[in-house]
Structure 1
């Protein structure tokens, strides 16, 4: 740069937000939410906030809107949906300004002697999926306290007391881990709690609502788009009750004083699967019960979420516990937090009967095969995918198989399946990963506090269960690069991954639910039911032919496109020399892509390993067997 150009000096911004201290906040916040406008999706909020003496003396109170949300693994606070914000004290309007560095912070000017202020604002929730997740629908809503509240800076959120109340549409029922203390004029008053627990206790409410008592202190609270979908059979509820029994038996404790599944059967409200300590938010297809016999569908969701009560909520990675919702979380142990939860979720699904054993084996086959397609592991280790919720914000990617995504879920499952196999092998079948789960995640019954852990804690706990080079195992599997997915756990458990030209019922049901046709394991692409390419596998035959996501297929081998035409063309070209012609539209251009592929239809399956010296019942078979009656 030439010396005669102007050169500014950098002025670092002043940190004007007090750091969180583990001391009680003065007084109790009063939060009132009017959630009756389900037509326009607007939550109207009134919040009374006590003013601490220090703030009163300084003339400024700093309030925060939750940014880093537990379970989201990233800054997901929808502050852009806060509108009409106004602060008053004794009827006098107060000036406020947003922090110019942390836009989730508001500095409110307060007159001397002010002891309490009132905040009024609207949370204008998404009215279309392009704006975010729909949380208000004609027959139901999802009230998430972090979206409709502020909290004072300078204190651990567990030290801020709050009393919340909410008004729902007339005739609606509501469920949350919080318990109501009274109801007056259609407003439900909830028990006094701390702000951390409030945020961890969302509400599902709706017109078509049922609560089913499960086991012990657990409930299944179901809300549906229509009453015709609220028709579970006794056996369906019994399997959900068995899920709880199996989970408490596995971990040997109950880290909650009560647990509420919040389950929405909906096409109107946005889908969700989010863990909380004493509840979980679950959004599934509305035919969850009424089409039970057509495949397992989303029935692995609830086993996954309740597992989080032990893994992720009670035991939490040290870097993922923060004193407030402003401090960034460090996600590098998500391969334990989510990976082992994914593992136990499928195991508990099988043990409870929500998934059949064969459905679970088919799911393992699909997971292993899908992870094999993630060729991005050649440059990006699994540990780096734990930062993906922050890096990618769960937005669509053009080349997921090369970029990788949140692979710590399913590749984590495979790693923990291998760990289970190693423990069984090294202990001569006397121990398994269950021994780790029962010691590492077990806590005191009713204790819904938090105990943090580090990577060294995980290694030490594994070593205590079964001596082995666990440090090297984790280094290779989590931090190392590779050319294929870690599938050794399948063979240690008595199965091998193979491919045939027949879909499993699991894959068929998954394609139906996602409205697609998955040809990723052969041709190398996934196509929507409307003929739009959803994904192309990196370096697959489809990739080498020049295909990409977003193209709309018009014809295959000269015939007008349909899913069956494409599928049949792939089958007919098995063993042939010529390419498959895919005529597709790219914006306003039509291109004929020649795909050199002749291996036919390929779908993953697990095949039982048999032979001399091989046990009839392998480790995976024992893993999936029910443990309770």
Structure 2
């Protein structure tokens, strides 16, 4: 009744308004209409010309209690005065997105020749600081702090009581208007007493301070530092060093056969490509659960974090052992050869993220191949990983509307934030789906050439040029297609269009078929799925009922249009009870397995927020775990691909 009264009053008021306006004779109110100003960007575009002078960068990294880096940077200027723009790096190589942590730059004070001057932040680009240099000014000095994360909810933790990860882009500014490769920099860092540091840079140590050799700003940013109290370095051959820091000294103890696999990894990469794109290479490896996770490629180094037990619990570290092969291969694929629209002359120019299905997809391909050839994981473990990946991609229902090519923009769009409906949104699928496409390309090459050619030939032709060159050679889609055709003639352009650039119905599994395998399902998890379930403390039945459930019953994943989706499951739903018993991983799996019998349905009590409900799950396909099954006799093309090169 009250609703009707309110509706009647609103209705009468609506009709009365024009009448009142007419009686009073008031003219209609003219709404205000602002006009947008013409925006102009005063920041100079980068030019490929030498910067007049060498920047001096001094970093104090000793405050490991508060995790604060203190910076003093001296930037020479021409002396004729006028506006200068200093930039904090925004678009970070390897991230494929604007990930610069500008909010952590604090306490900025600027002076010219010792006299304080004001700075202003560009309202159109908050990473840009504007300074008016007085006539005759010779050098700008900027002093500030980078207040790194003290807890994971602030960002990645890069400093602990035992180690640190110094990334130069976080502790420096650079002058706008120049290619970063044209800006000379001489950097020095003071580390905590007794710590040792590793980086691709070389320099001279005096006490706890290391003065690094002068380089350019591009190379500086490409040469991060790992330092720690517990440190060990191992020569892997071919001018490659494994530099390790750890939470405890025990984590740095390894068996000879474990280190031999890392040496074999280097040898297998050299055998694959022929040329190395570095004068020396430094693996930076943190064995820690205190520092934030990372796997990031550079020309002459890589940043890697693995969990404790990397050596001491070798058999438990299956997934971690894929990290070093992946990041090492990026020295060729991604750093030396780079998509033309992904390469940028500085760290302000936006990356356009094209061809990441080559950059990351083929790197994922080679990472698994090199890891298998080196013995970092067995052939069985590699095949199990392929099966797990393909099956997960088959649950990606968003392939109906979104191509792999379109997922290359995901780093910019979502920055790896959690997704409620990942299977309907897609994520960075260019990694793993790209890998499956390259597996198929290898099988096609081997089939059409009667085993004479394969992706090894593409790798050497495309990446194995210019030994020692750690600059960049960019490439286009046409370059990729032309190189493929130069090895084995085929309609590679259409091949890529159908698998990469258009929506598809299912994951590309023809690489398995041509290689003598097929993807099948059973009720027993393979080595990869078993490891994932144990490591992440969950049950992964995305392949069947469409659910990923943590061991406490909380749902962390629901496949779009799956039986679980149709039953109303969402991320955050919690399963309280299974068939009248308290939720447990075993109870849930037993119920799924038993449900193949129509007389044994699955009754669940669910909780979301403060609400409970009881459902009967309409599902009878049982437990479903993927594996690859051999279909032919003898070695197929995939078997031969995974064999070590002589």
TM-score by length of 1: 0.97
Q: Is 504-513 or 166-175 further displaced after alignment?
A: 504-513
Aligned to 1:453: 475
- Equivalent residue number for residue 440 of structure 1: 462
- Structure 2 match to 1:569: 591
- Aligned residue runs from structure 1 range 217-228, under 5 A: 217-228=239-250
Map residues 468-617 of structure 1 onto 2, 5 A cutoff: 468-576=490-598, 579-610=601-632, 615-617=633-635
Q: Is the 8 A contact 1:546 1:593 kept in 2?
A: no
| Structure 1 spans left out of the alignment, 5+ residues | none
The answer to whether the Cα contact below 8 Å between 2:81 and 2:132 also exists between their aligned partners in 1 is: no
Counterparts of residues 312-461 of structure 1 (less than 5 Å): 312-461=334-483
Distance in 2, matches of 1:43 and 1:579, equals 59
Verify: 1:265 aligned to 2:254, yes or no: no
Which structure 2 residues correspond to residues 132-281 of structure 1 after superposition, within 5 A? 132-180=155-203, 182-281=204-303
Q: Which stretch of structure 1 is more off in the superposition, 577-586 or 588-597?
A: 577-586
Counterpart CA distance in 2 for 1:528 and 1:42 is 36
Structure 1, residues 559-610: CA drift from partner, whole Å, max 9, x if none?
Answer: 1111111111111212325542222221111222332111111100000012
User: Would the aligned equivalents of 2:231 and 2:243 in 1 still touch at CA under 8 Å?
Assistant: yes
Q: 1:295 to 1:82 in 2, by over 3 A?
A: closer
CA contact (8 A) 1:170 1:186 kept: yes
* Structure 2 contact 309–316 (Cα < 8 Å) conserved: no
Single out whichever of 29-38 and 574-583 deviates more from structure 2: 574-583
Aligned 8 A contact 1:63 1:107 in 2: yes
Return the offset for 1:3: 8.8
Distance in 2 (alpha carbons) for counterparts of 1:301 and 1:534: 24
1:87 equivalent to 2:110? Answer yes
Q: What is the SS of the residue equivalent to 2:549?
A: strand
Contact conserved, 1:257 with 1:445, CA < 8 A, in 2? Answer: no
Deviations for 1:428-471, whole angstroms, at most 9, x for unmatched residues?
Answer: 21111111111011122211011000001000100111110011
Cα distance in 2 between the residues matched to 1:432 and 1:119: 53
Q: Deviations over 1:41-91 (max 9, x none)?
A: 1111111111134xx432x21100000011000000000111101101233
Q: CA deviation at 1:26?
A: 0.8
Q: Deviations over 1:243-265 (max 9, x none)?
A: 01101111121111011110111
Q: Is structure 2 residue 123 aligned with structure 1 residue 103?
A: no
8 Å CA contact 1:578–1:596 kept in 2: the answer is no
Stretch of structure 1 that moved more, 432-441 or 565-574 = 565-574
Matched residues in 1 for 2:580 and 2:529: separation? 28
Q: Could you tell me how far apart the structure 2 residues matched to 1:417 and 1:138 are?
A: 43
SS in 2 for 1:345: helix
Q: 1:74 aligns with which of 92, 97, 115?
A: 97
Contact between 2:512 and 2:518, CA under 8 Å: does it hold in 1?
yes
Structure 1's consecutive aligned runs of 4 or more residues displaced over 4 angstroms after TM superposition are none
Alpha-carbon distance, 1:482 to partner: 1.5
Corresponding residue for 2:47?
21
The unaligned stretches of length 5 or more in structure 2 are 1-27
Residue 322 of structure 1 deviates from its aligned partner by 0.7
Asked if 2 retains the 8 angstrom alpha-carbon contact of 1:25 and 1:52, the reply is no
**Alpha-carbon distance in structure 2 between the residues aligned to 1:389 and 1:374:** 18
Structure 1 residues 108-132: Cα deviation after superposition (integer angstroms, max 9, x where no partner): 1222211001111110111111111
What secondary structure is seen at the aligned counterpart in 2 of 1:512?
Answer: helix
Cross-structure match for 2:643:
625
Secondary structure of the 2:283 match is strand
> Greater CA deviation, 590-599 or 541-550?
590-599
Aligned to 1:41: 67
Deviation at 1:508, TM superposition (A): 1.0
Q: Determine if contact 2:49/2:179 at 8 Å carries over to the other structure.
A: yes
The normalised TM-score by structure 2 is 0.94
Partner of 2:21: none
Q: Is the 8 A contact 1:295 1:505 kept in 2?
A: no
Write the distance in 2 (CA, Å) between the matches of 1:367 and 1:502: 16
Q: What SS class does the counterpart of residue 570 from structure 2 fall into?
A: coil
1:547, 1:593 within 8 Å by CA — same for their partners in 2? no
Q: Structure 1: how far apart are the matches of 2:246 and 2:449?
A: 48
1:57 aligns with 2:81: yes
- 2:137 pairs, out of 114, 123, 130, with 114
